[in-house]
Chain A
Amino acid sequence: MSTGTTKLNVVVSDVVPVNELVTRFHFRRRDGELLPTFSGGAHVVVEMRDGNRTRLNPYSLMGSPLDTREYTISVRRDDAGRGGSLFMHRQVKPGLEMVISYPVNLFSLDLRAKKHLMLAGGIGITPFMAQTSQLAGAGGNFELHYTCRTASLGTYADVLQQRYGNRVRLYHDDREERIDLDRLLSSQPLGTHLYVCGPAGMINWVRDRAAALGWPPETVHFEHFAAPQPGAPFDVTLAVSGKTIRVGEQQSLLEAIETAGVDPPYLCRGGVCGQCETNVISSDGKFIHNDHWLSEEDHRSGCKIMPCVSRFEGKSLVLER
Chain B
Amino acid sequence: MGITFRKETFRDDYTFRNSPEHIRRFPFPFNEDSYMYAVNIEPHVVGPKGSVLENLIDVDEHYVAEMQDRALVLAEDPLRCQSLPHMTLAGWDLLELLMEQQALGYPEHFTLERNGDRWRWINRPLGIDDTFTFGDTSTLPYGPMEYITRQSQGDFCILDQRDGNLWMDAGMVTTQADWSLDFDIGMNFFEWHAPVPLAHEKGIFTRALKFLTNIQQGKPARRLNWTMTINPRLDTSPENYHKWGPDRATVTPENVGQKVHLRVELQSFWRLPRSNAIVFPIRCYLIKMDELVTQPKWARRLHRVIRDLPEELATYKGLTRYRPTLVEWLSKLDDGSPTSPGFGPD
Q: Which residue of B lies closest to A5 (CB)?
A: B216
A110 with B162, Cβ < 8 A, contacts A6-B216, A103-B217, A275-B214 known: yes
- Which residues on B sit within 8 Å (CB–CB) of A39? 273-276
**Is there an interface contact between A218 and B216, defined as CB atoms closer than 8 Å?**
no
Interface flags, A217-233, vs B, CB<8A=1, else 0: 01000000000000000
- Which residues on B sit within 8 Å (CB–CB) of A218? 162-163
A273 with B274, Cβ < 8 A, contacts A5-B219, A112-B86, A218-B163 known: no
Q: How far is the CA of A191 from the CA of B41 in the complex (A)?
A: 37
**Is there an interface contact between B89 and A1, defined as CB atoms closer than 8 Å?**
no
Interface hits, B116-165 → A, CB 8 Å: 160-163
Q: How far is the CA of A275 from the CA of B213 in the complex (A)?
A: 11
Interface flags, A89-106, vs B, CB<8A=1, else 0: 000000000000011110
A3 with B217, Cβ < 8 A, contacts A39-B274, A218-B162, A218-B163 known: no
A105 with B274, Cβ < 8 A, contacts A111-B86, A218-B162 known: no
Kindly state the interface size class of chain A when it binds its partner. Answer: 20 to 34
- Which residues on B sit within 8 Å (CB–CB) of A138? 89
Q: How far is the CA of A191 from the CA of B214 in the complex (A)?
A: 27
Residue from B41, B216, B274 within 8 A of A37 (CB atoms)? B274
- Which residues on B sit within 8 Å (CB–CB) of A104? 216-217
Residue from A3, A6, A275 within 8 A of B218 (CB atoms)? A6
Residue from A37, A108, A134, A275 within 8 A of B162 (CB atoms)? A108
Most A CB contacts (10 A, CB to CB) among B43, B85, B274 go to: B274
- Which residues on A sit within 8 Å (CB–CB) of B211? 3
- Which residues on A sit within 8 Å (CB–CB) of B43? 1
Residue from B210, B214, B218 within 8 A of A267 (CB atoms)? B214
Q: In the complex, what's the smallest C-beta–C-beta distance from B84 to chain A, in angstroms?
A: 8
**Is there an interface contact between B218 and A36, defined as CB atoms closer than 8 Å?**
yes
Q: In the complex, what's the smallest C-beta–C-beta distance from B98 to chain A, in angstroms?
A: 15
Q: Which residue of A lies closest to B96 (CB)?
A: A37
- Which residues on B sit within 8 Å (CB–CB) of A108? 161-162, 276
Q: Is the CB of B292 closer than 8 A to any CB of chain A? A: no
Q: In the complex, what's the smallest C-beta–C-beta distance from B333 to chain A, in angstroms?
A: 36
- Which residues on B sit within 8 Å (CB–CB) of A41? 276
A36 with B273, Cβ < 8 A, contacts A1-B42, A3-B214, A273-B214 known: yes
- Which residues on A sit within 8 Å (CB–CB) of B89? 111, 138
Interface flags, B189-230, vs A, CB<8A=1, else 0: 000000000000000000000110010111101000000000
Q: In the complex, what's the smallest C-beta–C-beta distance from A66 to chain B, in angstroms?
A: 9
Most B CB contacts (10 A, CB to CB) among A105, A109, A111, A273 go to: A111
Q: Is the CB of A307 closer than 8 A to any CB of chain B? A: no
Q: Is the CB of A25 closer than 8 A to any CB of chain B? A: no
Interface flags, B270-306, vs A, CB<8A=1, else 0: 0001111000000000000000000000000000000
Q: How far is the CA of A102 from the CA of B216 in the complex (A)?
A: 8
- Which residues on A sit within 8 Å (CB–CB) of B274? 37-39, 65, 134
Q: In the complex, what's the smallest C-beta–C-beta distance from B240 to chain A, in angstroms?
A: 32
- Which residues on A sit within 8 Å (CB–CB) of B163? 218
Q: In the complex, what's the smallest C-beta–C-beta distance from A219 to chain B, in angstroms?
A: 10
Q: How far is the CA of A5 from the CA of B43 in the complex (A)?
A: 12
Q: State the B residues within 8 Å of A (CB).
A: 41-43, 85-87, 89, 160-163, 210-211, 214, 216-219, 221, 273-276
Interface CB pairs A-B, < 8 A, 14? A5-B216, A5-B217, A6-B217, A6-B219, A36-B217, A38-B274, A42-B276, A65-B274, A103-B217, A104-B216, A110-B86, A112-B86, A218-B162, A218-B163
Given known contacts A37-B273, A104-B217, A111-B86, what 5 new A-B pairs fall within 8 Å (CB)? A102-B217, A110-B162, A111-B160, A111-B275, A275-B214
